[in-house]
Amino acid sequence: MASELAKSSVSEDAVGRGDLSNLLEVRLISIRYAARDTHLFELAPLAGGEMPPADPGAHVDLHLPNGMMRQYSLTTPDRAPKSYILGIKRDANSRGGSKYIFDTLKVGHTLRISSPRNNFALVENADHVVLIAGGIGITPIWAMTQRLTELGRPFELHYASRSRADMIFLDKLKDMGSARPHFDDESADKFLDIKPLVASAAKGAHFYCCGPIPMLNAFEEATANLPAEQVHVEYFTPKEEKSTAGGFIVQLARSNKEFVIPPGKGILEVLRDAGLDVPYSCEQGICGACETAVVSGIPDHRDSVLTEKECAANKTMMICCSGSKGDKLVLDL
């Protein structure tokens, strides 16, 4: 999920712990200035060797020593990486995550991270790719530019920020002929206009977007009439409020146990309170860690991961944020 999943890749409110048994021990080996209030943090395996392979668009859970957990996208794709690089922006409204990272973490500190997850995968054999990024949303997009360049595939990058001072990788854009930076303060404070970018693209092009909510809303509006398989978006913040209406029953198909979901609580919360060991991470429906197969029933989908087609199929759901449209859900748990 890039940046401060809010992935940012994913968010300041995400404090879930999830499964801690398979975490990777890493060391922070460098911190580099990238732009105003944004640094690049490089992590290498504590025991040496290689990190797990990471494809463009992937993110990891970063478990901080103070007990918080945040999700950040990887800026570099690699099948045999010696390290991961995370682009992290200090959030002025931080509830603890980015503030702790900037104020406390130093080179040499050891941390734990999850293996990479990817809900924003790149279609590497597309005839043409249009990449659109806003602010810190460039982090997963930047990994895509590197992979496409490596493969010799055609693409264009449209990258917007408030000003030059806020744009990371600015020094590298001049060497990328397909890159078109946009600075709001040099454009009469107007945001990047996405509609003409979509309208002028080659037929069959794949479109990717990661950035702030207004940009994502404009992107989804501009691509609304395109085939869903050509449109890819990564949210850093939830699109909808999580379902807490309750008033339904969840049955676990494998154990046949039933749980009443009362008003004010969600499925994940009730299952955790009952002592069940279920995977989760962001608790906001933006990372995909809690995706669960649905045996029967109609979920009230509130996540930012599943496509409209996947939601309509009702084969899976994110139990951290979604509820039920009926009296009962049966889950493959």
If you average pLDDT over every residue of the chain, what do you get?
89
Using alpha carbons, select from 32, 68, 74, 33 the residue that is nearest to residue 54.
74
Query: For residue range 104-113, what is the model confidence (pLDDT) as tens digits?
Result: 999 999 999 9
- Does the pLDDT value for residue 242 go beyond 70? yes
89 contacts 143 by C-beta, under 8 angstroms: no
**Residue 228 CB: number of other CB atoms within 10 A?**
12
Total residues belonging to the chain: 333
Predicted local distance difference test score (pLDDT) of residue 59 = 93
- Does the pLDDT value for residue 8 go beyond 80? no
Predicted local distance difference test score (pLDDT) of residue 21 = 56
Domains in the chain (CATH in brackets) are 24-113 (2.40.30.10), 129-234 (3.40.50.80), 248-331 (3.10.20.30)
Predicted local distance difference test score (pLDDT) of residue 20 = 54
3-state secondary structure of 128: coil
Q: What percent of the chain has pLDDT over 90?
A: 74
Report in angstroms the alpha-carbon separations of 330 from 71, 116, 251, 309: 29, 29, 5, 20
Q: Which of 2-16, 40-54, 187-201 is least confident? A: 2-16
Q: Does the global pTM surpass 0.85?
A: no
Burial (Cβ within 10 Å: 0-12, 13-18, ≥19) of residue 25 = exposed
Task: Round to whole Å and give the CA distance between 36 and 99.
Answer: 14
- Does the pLDDT value for residue 13 go beyond 50? no
Using alpha carbons, select from 67, 6, 86, 10 the residue that is nearest to residue 281.
10
155 contacts 123 by C-beta, under 8 angstroms: no
Query: Tokens 């979920």 correspond to what residue?
Result: 299
* Backbone dihedral region for residue 293 (phi beyond 0: left; psi -120 to 50: alpha; all else: beta): beta
pLDDT bucket at 101, cuts 50 / 70 / 90: very high
Task: Round to whole Å and give the CA distance between 138 and 158.
Answer: 10
Exposure class string for 154-168: b at 16+ Cβ within 10 A, else e: ebbbbbbbeeeebbb
Predicted local distance difference test score (pLDDT) of residue 95 = 65
